Amino acid sequence: MDEKLIISISGVRGIVGVNLTPTIAAEYGCAFGTFLKDKYGRNTHDAIRNTTSVCIGRDSRTSGQMLQSAMSAGLCAVGIDVVDLGLVTTPSVAVMVRELQCCGGVVITASHNPIQYNGIKLQLGNGIAPPVDDAEQIKQYFLDKHFALVDSPSCGKVISNNQTDAAHIAKVLAIVDEQVLPVPWGQEGGAARKFKVALDSVNGAGGQITKKLLAELGCKVTAINDESNGLFAHSPEPTVENVKELCEVVKANKADIGFAQDPDADRLAIVDETGKYVGEEYTLALAAKYMFSHKTGKAVTNLSTSRMIDEIASEADGQVVRTAVGEANVANAMLEHNCIIGGEGNGGVIDLRVSPVRDSLVGIVLILQLMAETGKTVSQLVNEIGGYYMSKDKVAADRTQAQQIIDLAKETFTNAKLNTTDGCRFDFEDGWLHLRPSNTEPVMRIIVEVTDQRTAQKYIDVVSKIRERVLD
């Protein structure tokens, strides 16, 4: 299957030097800047503060500086000023967009994709990715080369800002209960304990800021792969196959917990105190358990996330709202329903008190607070929540093939309850299956959650046979 540049509601993602070039980045900058000027008005410098300024940051990928420069050039070419945040995490950019009251943000990142990839993620002035209609308009501006280029005196300028880590950490510390985890460490009062934490940041953007945060919380940290050089020490997605070194470090150092981040630090996976990989699904579940132990309300997650959060919310007389997959869908629903917690089963936790994006730092502080407050180990907390078997997989399929597979699955699983908000989710008496085309890769994702592995495999085998029919 030929790799093509992917332009979706998540932004742009491609292979550097093949289909993602500085020309592409510059033109995408022109398109985004033109869209922002149309959205906020072309002459509104005085009406709304910084309406023609955009924050831009990048993860540690070696191609990041090149693409950031090109994207900045495109923005400046249409009269947008650029605030260069340098090497920062994705959630940090969202914090700064809101802190500086900019009209948008840009992150140069390919998230968990391998090193040959990079991408461009967009944020509006609220720190959230553009909704579908806006994303389609930006895409069309790019394809049509609809650029509102300006003359020399009107070009935007680039200024640097090195306050991102401090601003982000301050936002996260503000949600910490100082009676549980005194900040800074050594403050009198409270029943806090000093946790031993192992951290694997895969040489991405999260290493330095996360170590600073954990130091503020008084944690003793053993960090691996914490050089932000973009040379990933292992495949960057924080899955069980990729965090074996972290598991060994937890055991060797008798750590209380291990945290694994992806390259742009918006996702978080967990290793328990025995060195066992707990996974990404439990990140949101444990964070929600802490939040619902203090208040009731609503949570938001997507159709592909474990039902564990439903049970946690139910025990606190709370509710769960389900959306299509995608951070922006979850964040917008959280704002609409005034939710106390939200996120996705990929290890992304959203707390609106910090910013409306997935944030591994938020996940870390909520889980440490849960451990401190209950006095329980990670494995004890996980065992209290657990009880389901979940399988996540992806198979090669373009959007047309994925839709054909979904249509045939509908004809096969005739007794299932269907939800077609995003691909199709099939709810059975013993669990659920979700089939959906990816927004960032030419693949179809297959997620199934049931009571045991054997039952899960039964559903996976049926989908595999359907896929073989489609691809023959």
Strand order in the sheet with 417-419: 389-396, 443-450, 431-437, 424-428, 417-419
Residues annotated as catalytic are 111
CB within 8 Å of 126: residues ≥ 6 apart: 97, 98, 356
From residue 461, alpha-carbon distances to 306, 453, 454, 466 in Å are: 21, 12, 11, 9
Single-letter code of the amino acid located at 402: A
Residue 307 DSSP SS3 = coil
Distance CA 47, CA 45 (A): 6
In DSSP terms, 15 is beta-bridged to 117
Within 13 Å and on the Cβ side, how many CA atoms surround 231? 2
Residue 378 sits at φ, ψ, to 5 deg, of -60, -45
Residues 368-377: b if buried by 16+ CB within 10 A, e if exposed: bbbbbbeeee
Q: Which of 55, 49, 87, 88 is nearest to 72 (CA)?
A: 55
Single-letter code of the amino acid located at 89: T
